Amino acid sequence: MTAARIITIDDLHQHVLDLAADLEIKWRDWRIEADTETRTVYLHPITSERAYASALHEIGHIRTGRFDDELTEERKAWEWARDNALVWTPTMQREADSCMRTYTTDVAHRAEYYYEEILAFLNDLYNGDTDGELIYDALVAHAVELAQAYEDYNSKEVRLVLIRLIDKHLAAYPPDLEARYKRAIQEIHAKHGMGVSQPSAGEQQ
Bridge partner residues of 35 (DSSP): 40
* Pairing of the two strands 24-27 and 40-43: parallel
Nearer residue to Zn ion within complex by CB, 101 or 164: 101
Report, in Å, the least distance between residue 31 CB and Zn ion: 11
DSSP secondary structure string for all residues of 12-41: HHHHHHHHTTTSEEEE-SS--EEETTTTEE
Q: What is the C-alpha separation between 196 and 153, in angstroms, rounded?
A: 47
Q: Shortest distance, CB of residue 41 to Zn ion, whole angstroms?
A: 11
Residues 97 and 106: their CA atoms lie apart, in Å, by 14
Rg (CA), the chain: 25
Amino acid identity of 35? Answer: D
CA 119-122-150 angle, to 5 degrees, is 55
| Closer Cβ to Zn ion, 150 or 181, answer by number | 150
Nearer to Zn ion, 15 or 76 (CB): 76
For the chain, the first-to-last Cα distance in angstroms comes to 73
Q: How far is the CB of 150 from Zn ion (least distance, A)?
A: 16
Q: Considering beta carbons, is residue 59 or 143 the nearer one to Zn ion?
A: 59
Given the complex with Zn ion, which of 64 and 143 has the nearer CB atom? 64
Q: Nearest distance from residue 74's CB to Zn ion, in Å?
A: 5
Residue nearest to Zn ion (CB): 74
Question: To the nearest whole angstrom, how small is the minimum distance from the Cβ of residue 57 to Zn ion?
Answer: 6
> Which uninterrupted H or E stretch holds 121?
helix 90-127
Q: Which is nearer to Zn ion, 74 or 95 (CB)?
A: 74
Cβ of residue 161: shortest distance to Zn ion, in angstroms?
A: 22
Number of residues located near Zn ion, criterion CB under 5 A: 1
Q: Interaction with Zn ion in 60-119: which residues (CB under 5 A)?
A: 74
Binding site for Zn ion (CB under 5 A): 74
